[in-house]
Amino acid sequence: MIQAIIDYQFLQNAFLTGLIIGVIAPLLGAFIVVRRLSLIADALSHVTLSGIAASLFLSKTFVVFNGLNPLWLGMGFSVMGSLFIERLRTVYKHYQELAIPIILSGGIGIGVIFISLADGFNTDLFSYLFGSVSAVSRSDLWLILAIAVTVISVVILLYKELFLLSFDEEFGKASGLSTRFLHLVFMIMVALVIAASMRIVGILLVSSLMTLPVAAAMRIARGFKQTIFFSIAFGEIAVISGLFSAFYLDLAPGGTIVLSSILLLLLAIAFKKTQTMRK
């Protein structure tokens, strides 16, 4: 595959994109998991689907939108979705998790309508659902790189605030932190990372790359920073091994990446077991 990567640009794109999302998805994932928002990431990814479907429909029906990269609308929908979730969470104060099924089904509902309008599935949409080694374009790569730079800078600059928000929101408020604003910034970051990751892992499996490496890291890490580092390491291992096996076995990379993450997770659990048994 190394030779193939050197020879083919599409493989370069896929591989570099994979390396980038292997960092940003688990990085944000660490915050998502500890804040118990894993399902919100899932809901947002389904909203992204409706954006992708809308974009595919538009470019099929209107000549003007022919060259439109579906990532843009996907990103737009997912950011809108994140704002909408926040709105719903304040409306249903005592049933905050209600926002998830509402957004999730709404996302799929709109997506399905656009898919039917565009006369059903095509290979393009399939690659968005389950990821693809061959569909990542150069312009996708640049957009994803820009998202990564934004997300990593925001996390570094606001690390201590995000940590406080995740660990103890009330204490954060009491020490004068603008938690609402911070949470909003965070949700927008999540929406961006989802849009960035779906080219490789696919919409249906995006949340796995944000949660599984973190779940594995939490078993063995000491402290939050270490959890983040382990999560990224596991994320990278999962993406690289997933992409290789997807390439050689001609499979959708979403599936292979998720399976490698689960394998890592099982290893981490087993490792922790032997550690505690030895004590």
Partner 1 sequence: MESSNVIELKNIHYRYDRDLVLTNINLAVPRGAFLGIVGPNGSGKSTMLKIILGLQKPRKGSVLLFGQQQSKFRDWERIGYVSQKANAFNSGFPATVYEIVASGLTKKAGLFRMIGNKRRPQIEKAIRAVSMEDFQDRNIGELSGGQQQRVFIARAIVSEPDVLILDEPTVGVDSKNVQTFYDMLERLNKELSLTLMLVTHDIGTITNKVTHVACLNNTMHFHGSTEDFEQVKDSELSQFYGHDVQRLHHDHEHSHEAPTR
In whole angstroms, what is the distance from residue 41 CA to residue 210 CA? 8
Least Cβ distance, residue 234 to partner 1 (angstroms): 14
Shorter beta-carbon distance to partner 1: residue 181 or 248:
181
Q: Does residue 216 sit in helix, strand or coil?
A: helix
Interface with partner 1 (CB under 8 A): 34, 36, 157-161, 163-164, 166-168, 170-177, 217-218, 221-227
In whole angstroms, the minimum distance from the beta carbon of 128 to partner 1 comes to 33
Q: Which residue lies nearer to partner 1 by CB, 31 or 77?
A: 31
For the CA atoms of 11, 16, 19, 24, what is the dihedral angle to 10 degrees? -130
Q: Which is nearer to partner 1, 175 or 274 (CB)?
A: 175
Hey, is 133 helix, strand or coil?
A: coil
Closer Cβ to partner 1, 120 or 176, answer by number: 176
Q: How far is the CB of 81 from partner 1 (least distance, A)?
A: 25
Per this entry, what is the length of the chain?
279
Q: CB within 8 A of 52, min separation 6: which ones?
A: 70, 73, 74, 111, 125, 128, 198, 203
Report in angstroms how near the CB of residue 217 gets to partner 1 at its nearest.
8
Smallest distance, Å, CB 177 to partner 1? 7
Q: Return the residue matching tokens 């934004």.
A: 150
274 or 276, CB closer to partner 1?
276
Residues near 191 by Cβ (< 8 Å), separated by ≥ 6? 44, 48, 75, 78, 79, 81, 82
- Least distance to partner 1, CB of residue 250, Å: 38
> Among 147, 236, 224, which Cα is nearest to 190's?
147
| Rounded Cα–Cα distance for residues 215 and 33 (Å) | 8
Cα distance between residue 193 and residue 200, in whole Å: 12
Whichever of 20 and 221 has its CB closer to partner 1, that residue is 221
